[in-house]
Amino acid sequence: MKKTRCIMVQGTMSGAGKSLLCAALCRIFHQDGLRCAPFKSQNMALNSYVTRDGLEMGRAQVVQAMAAGVEPDVRMNPILLKPCSDVGSQVIVNGEVRGQMPARDYFRYKKQLVPEILAAYHSLAEENDVIVIEGAGSPAEINLKADDIVNMGLARLVDAPVLLAGDIDRGGVFAQLYGTVALLESEERARVKGLIINKFRGDVEILRPGLAPLEEKTGVPVIGVVPYVRTEIDDEDSLAPSLGRTEAHKPLDAAVIRMPRISNFTDFSPLEQHPLLGVRYVSGPQTLGRPDVVILPGTKSTLDDLVWLRENGLEAAILKLAAAGVPVMGICGGYQMLGRTLSDPEGTEGGVPGAVVRGLGLLPVDTVFCAQKTRTRVEAQALAGPFAGARLEGYEIHMGKTQVDGEPFCRLEDGRAEGCAAGNVYGTYLHGLFDTGEATARLADLLCKTKGIDPAGAAPLSHRAFQEREFDRLAEAVRAALDMDAIYRMMEG
């Protein structure tokens, strides 16, 4: 039986652009008529997704799957670590919560997960022509090499050729690439078949005199200089550059509260794509000002982030805006915060068991946290005020049950009421509620009416249609920059 081809993209550091390079390769192979699937053995991210079968996986491989034209599958990301503190994470294996672990305990435990990683990989390989594998961080983190399951350790297990990407936008790309190769063992160096200089701005001819010496010193060819591609494709990292924005440059101003443990911030990508909506992320009352709408996003630590909101003065500022008629929305953890009380009888949130915390009191709801995690994909129709009639698609992923005494925000396809609305305040558990474009358009129309702006001609694309266009743009740029013939030869072994 013919061995399924694979290619692995590793980086000189976190943020070198591995995720987008993998997405581009997935799109290119899809365009070339191949059945392709992404794979990353271990992801660390708060930005997660629920598959159609109710399992949880990292967002990066979801985006790569969409680029490949296939349904996201939890096998593409068998291990997901969701940080819940500075020293510990919730460990999710094959889409199910395995438990909370301090970093030291997980480091010892992860060797036991190798059979499950390989089972997921080989199962995908049986169904596809090509597997595009993403590494994590850098393979030169020599303190972590002993039990590596995501970089060279995984490459060895699945016999993958490796492309090593360096980020020229951060500077020192030649040192990045040479230093990384130099720190590898001889067997690991032999796996590196090509170097990529990523995020280049300017004239590549100016860079060319350095390429031959780099190839000579590393013994590895440079197979491409990829330009800095400005694309609006979801980023898995909760420290994504978009979160650094503090100013809106469009007529409508949407302020998203940047919680310390913000999760699923890609919920707001469709808002950013709207021609009239400026989205900015704020972390203090001094930068909040008077936006046209305030949004409280999801968070991995709802109670801790609620205390943070209270102590830094944002709670008081949000209450004042809500009283003045400014729309306030809460999603998942943000929705829970808008309620009257949040109770944690079992210490699920990591605090003192039995704790009861006062919410913002803007919605007539009460939340009780529990160990059981809700994970489900849903379709719904909005019922609340200006959103009424909007078709919604999304997913729930939360720990806790909320008792609602008021009007629902939407109705699920099975007839159940979901979320809550009270006046100008709205709350829902649905991540991805803006993806269809209909809720985005309703929100923009409401804000335009309030500000006397004509919304004509500003209807957004659906998020999926927009992403399809962006995938093609990204693939076009990367295909032109990389020696794809060389990559195909690498995969043939």
For the residues of 338-378, what is the DSSP string, one character each? TSSEEEETT-TTSS-TTEEEE---SSSEEEEEEEEEEEEEE
Angle, CA 430 vertex, CA 40 and CA 435 arms, to 5°: 70
Catalytic residue among 30, 274, 431, 463: 431
Residue 228 contacts residue 201 (beta carbons within 8 Å): yes
Q: Is 332 a catalytic residue?
A: yes
Give the separation between CA 138 and CA 170, rounded to whole angstroms.
15
Catalytic residue among 22, 332, 420, 448: 332
Residue 101 contacts residue 109 (beta carbons within 8 Å): yes
Give the position of tokens 């500075």.
86
* Gap between the terminal Cα atoms of the chain: 15
Amino acid present at 126: E
Dihedral sign from CA coordinates of 212, 218, 223, 226: negative
Residue 38 contacts residue 62 (beta carbons within 8 Å): no
Residue from 426, 455, 436 nearest 252 by CA? 455
| DSSP code, position 460 | P
Cross-strand pairs, 38: 132
Residues in the chain, overall count: 493
Give the separation between CA 191 and CA 7, rounded to whole angstroms.
11
Give the separation between CA 323 and CA 365, rounded to whole angstroms.
18
Q: Give me the helix-helix angle, 463-481 and 18-31, nearest 10°.
A: 90
Residue 63: in which H helix or E strand, if any?
helix 59-67
A 10 A CB-CB count for 123 gives 13
- Six-digit token pair at 453? 């702006």
Residue 458: φ, ψ to 5°: -110, 15
The residues that are catalytic are 332, 431
